[in-house]
Each structure stands twice: as structure tokens, then as C-alpha cells.
Chain A
Amino acid sequence: MRNGPAAPQRHRCGCRAIVPPELLRRIAQNGTKPQREAALATLATDHSLRFARATAQLTGGPPRRLALVAAEFVPRRTVFDAGHREALPGTPVRAEGQRAGRDTEVNEAYDGLGATFAFFADVYDRNSIDDAGMPLDASVHYSVRYDNAFWNGRQMVFGDGDGEIFNRFTASLDVIGHELAHGITADEANLAYLGQAGALNESISDVFGSLVKQYRLGQAAAEADWLIGEGLFTRRVKGVALRSMKAPGTAFDDPVLGKDDQPATMAGYVHTTADNGGVHTNSGIPNHAFYLAAVALGGNAWDVAGHVWYETLRDRHLRPNATFRQFAALTVRNAAQSFGAAAERAVATAWQDVGIDTSARSRRVPGRTAGRAPARRGRRGIA
């Protein structure tokens, strides 16, 4: 949950300011004269509002936030060595600014935290998990032959893998992004980890985990592999990754692990009580919708599709128990508001293709039918 007071005001205003600063800077450098002027004006406005936010924090926020303003958008990473035990966080072994050592897991975790922080700061103007400079902590060498990674609500935890099926879990940048995105989802929307809301929670982590990797590699949507967890399997496993957003259900087919059973569309939706209602299985459906939208929109997935999903995650109408259809309807609305009719069509078509109808007839955004918006939850919504 967010610590300290809510941001005094949104620093993004309307359609213009939703364009990422990085894209604006590129337009300012390479666009036509009117485009350059518009981009520069938007960047100036964004800078002014960020300054206003900082000023308000200095004058009205609690003492804890003063240092954050001075060091805004600077990561504060600490990697701990759990020493093959389960007590967290363990012994601090690399703090922010310290040089790389010999421990591969420590270095990968440190670099992965940094890449994820940089992605959200550069692209979405977000200052860490809570948008208020939250320190980024990770523990490596958790337990013995531990073949998993998870977010415990405060920090990331990585096992070394068993060496037979799984390699070390720091090896995959998108997995690090995935885990940190769970923290952002908890901060912004607190999506339940159950049923469709839980599958959305998982999917949002896959979306931003994949985008962290694509941004790091400079890959456009059409160039990306859209795999989650590539490199985690040892050579003994018949599989390429944990999941495929491009082709759900095809990531692995192994005698020990079984066959990837993620559905790509609602026709394959799995009704189960296992894994909190199949959160890692049915996430294939919104994952594939994002992939389809990103490829249809073209360019870098983080520029338009990623922004639509990010704004939807922050949308005050996104409820903790949201269904696929409710989430989809919000993405369509945010696409229209932020990027226009073509983006709206692309996003709606992507959802349609996975079996989720977001047409006006079926669309019912929670709290939006009664003329006035529902009470705010104390979180920021679309301006």
C-alpha cells in the first residue's frame, strides 16, 4: 500500500501528457516543426508539474518524503544474501552504487532491479514501486535448491534453482520485472490474487516484465520474443520458457513439467480451484490480448499499448475484484482517451480476438453508468 500522503496532484494532464517523456524527447528531436513545438511544450509542462509536486511534498509532506524529493528518480537498491536459509532478508551484500562482485546472482538481481526501475521511471515517469522512491530490496540464495521466485509484499525473493530443471531465478530479466510489477499492482489497484482478478494480476506482471526486457533490448513489438522466463530451464527441459504471450500454451511440453496449458482465448478458460483459481493458467488470455494489441499498434510496445495498460492499472475504476471484461473495457476507454480512435479499435479488436467483447452494448465499466463517478479510493485516476 502507498505510504505517506497521496500525491498532491497528478502531473499528467489529459491526452497530451500521457505520452511518455522518452517518446516526447524523441519527437522533440526528430519530429516536424509543429510536432517539435508541441512536444517541447508538453515536456516543459510536465517538468513544471513535477516541480510543483516536489514543492508540495517539501512543504506539506512528512519528513520521510523530503529525502525522496531531493533524490527523485534515483533507485535505492539493496541485494541481500539469504545464505541458503529462509530468514529474510539475510545479509546485505550490495547496496546502491557499490561495484559488482563475483556473485552472479547478486549482480543479476542488482542489474535487474535497476533495469526495472529505469523502465518505469523513463517510460511512465514512475518513481519506484510506490511512485514515492520505495527502496528496492531483493534476497538471493534463498533456501536450498529452491526452484521459485516470489514477491513477499516487501521485497523480491530468488531461489538458486535445483540445477536439474531450473537454473537460478535471477537469470531472467523479465522475471525480475514480473516480481516488481506485483508490487506496483498491489500499490495501485490491489487486485485480488484469485480467479480472474488474480489472472489479471499475473498478466499485468507478465506484460510489464516483458516490456522491461523489450525496453532494455530496444526491441519493437514485432521483434520481441514475448516469452516469460526464457533461460530459467536447464537444457534437460523440453521447453523455451515459462509462458509465451504470443502463443500461450506452447512454452513447454516436458515429461516432468507436463504441457503448458495456458489458454489464448476464453474458449479455453480453465475453471479450477487450484493455484488460486488458475491465476498462472488463465493469465494467458489477457497476456495474448496485450500481445495482439501491441503488435497491431506497432512500434515499441511500451509506447502505446504499455501506456494504455499502465493507465488502466492506475484507473480509479479498476476494482480489486475486476473481471477480464471489466479490465478490458477500461483499456479500451483509456486507449480512446489517450491515443484516439485507431488505438481504441486496435485494443477492442485484440480483446475481441481472445473472446472478450468490449463493445458498448456489453461494456459496463463499474460505477460509470450513473452519471457521476464513484467515490475515489484515495488513488490517482485518469485526469
Chain B
Amino acid sequence: MSLQIDFGIEGGLAAFPGLAKPLRIDCANLAKDEAGRIEALVRRADFFGRREPAHAAPLPDARTYTIGVDDGSQCRTLRLDEPIADDAMRALVAELREHALRLRRAGAR
């Protein structure tokens, strides 16, 4: 089964209700190369095996990302505060952020 990902963004320099709404990314509906890229990033980040991220006191205007991944046999939700130290997780967030923006723009047309 392909991945289903829920992605949400909180905070940042301003509150944007349109960007804060959680978004569902279903890899089954994506082009094969795009789905493959996201699934590879999830694996590289060891999303299901990694430790729960630590949460320090929030930094002013930094953002918090909520990522929920369901691969059909397991599901997990992680919250990550900026700045994200882990390279693999940061790459996954960047990819999802870009993808979410494209989806929102497409939905707004």
C-alpha cells in the first residue's frame, strides 16, 4: 500500500489559516516519481523507527510541523519544531512543504 501523509504547519512569522489546515497527501494519487521521492525520504528519515523529537521552548516565529504517516500496516504522527537538526527529517519536511504548497495552489484555482 502506498503512503498516506497528513501534513500541517503552525506558527511562523504570521498566522495563515489557509496554510494551517492539515493536508492529506496520498501517494497513490501522485505521479510515480513524485511518490517514489516522498517514500524514499520517509524511509531515509526512519520515520517509524526514530525517537520522538525533543521539544524545547518555542522560538519566536519559528514553525512547528505535524506529520502523520500511514503505510497501511503502521501509522505514526510526529511534531517537529524549527530549526530541525536532523538532515533526513529536514529534507522530508522541505519536500512535504513544497508539495503542500502546490496542492493548495492547485486547489485554490
In the complex, which of the residues A148, A194, A281 contacts B61, with contact meaning CB atoms closer than 8 Å?
A: A148
Task: Enumerate chain A residues within 8 angstroms of B18, measured Cβ to Cβ.
Answer: 254-259
0 or 1 for each of A305-321: is its CB under 8 Å from B? (1 = yes): 00000000000000000
Task: Enumerate chain A residues within 8 angstroms of B57, measured Cβ to Cβ.
Answer: 193
CB within 8 Å for A278 and B15 given contacts A150-B62, A182-B60: yes
Are B15 and A149 in contact (CB-based, < 8 A)?
Answer: no
Task: Enumerate chain A residues within 8 angstroms of B84, measured Cβ to Cβ.
Answer: 86
CB within 8 Å for A261 and B59 given contacts A164-B101, A164-B105, A274-B10: no
**How many residue pairs at the A-B interface have CB separations less than 8 Å?**
99
0 or 1 for each of B18-61: is its CB under 8 Å from A? (1 = yes): 11110000000000000000000000000000000000011111
Are A275 and B104 in contact (CB-based, < 8 A)?
Answer: no
Best-surrounded residue of B15, B18, B108 (most CB of chain A within 10 A)? B15
User: What is the total number of residues of chain B having a CB less than 8 Å from a CB of chain A?
Assistant: 30
0 or 1 for each of B52-95: is its CB under 8 Å from A? (1 = yes): 00000111111100000000000000000011100000100010
Whole-angstrom distance between the alpha carbons of A261 and B59 in the complex?
22
CB distance from B89 to the nearest CB of A (A): 11
Are B13 and A242 in contact (CB-based, < 8 A)?
Answer: yes
Whole-angstrom distance between the alpha carbons of A262 and B94 in the complex?
28
- Closest residue of chain B to A274 (Cβ to Cβ) is B10
Verify if A23 is at the interface (C-beta below 8 Å from B): no
Whole-angstrom distance between the alpha carbons of A336 and B20 in the complex?
41
Whole-angstrom distance between the alpha carbons of A341 and B17 in the complex?
41
Within 8 A of B (CB), among A115-174: 143-145, 147-153, 157, 162, 164-165, 169
Verify if A88 is at the interface (C-beta below 8 Å from B): yes
Are A280 and B14 in contact (CB-based, < 8 A)?
Answer: yes
Whole-angstrom distance between the alpha carbons of A152 and B85 in the complex?
13
Are A274 and B61 in contact (CB-based, < 8 A)?
Answer: no
Task: Enumerate chain B residues within 8 angstroms of A165, measured Cβ to Cβ.
Answer: 101
CB distance from A365 to the nearest CB of B (A): 25
Are A149 and B101 in contact (CB-based, < 8 A)?
Answer: no
Are A150 and B61 in contact (CB-based, < 8 A)?
Answer: yes
0 or 1 for each of A190-209: is its CB under 8 Å from B? (1 = yes): 00011000000110010000
Q: List 15 contacting pairs A-B, 8 Å CB cutoff, sorted by A.
A: A148-B61, A148-B62, A150-B13, A150-B61, A175-B13, A182-B60, A229-B13, A255-B108, A255-B109, A256-B105, A257-B18, A258-B21, A261-B15, A276-B11, A280-B12
6 cross-chain pairs, A with B, having the tightest CB-CB distances, nearest first: A258-B18, A255-B108, A258-B17, A242-B14, A280-B15, A150-B61
Binding site for A on B (CB under 8 A): 10-21, 57-63, 82-84, 90, 94, 98, 101, 104-105, 108-109
Binding site for B on A (CB under 8 A): 86, 88, 143-145, 147-153, 157, 162, 164-165, 169, 175, 178-179, 182, 193-194, 201-202, 205, 228-229, 242-243, 254-259, 261-262, 274-276, 278-281
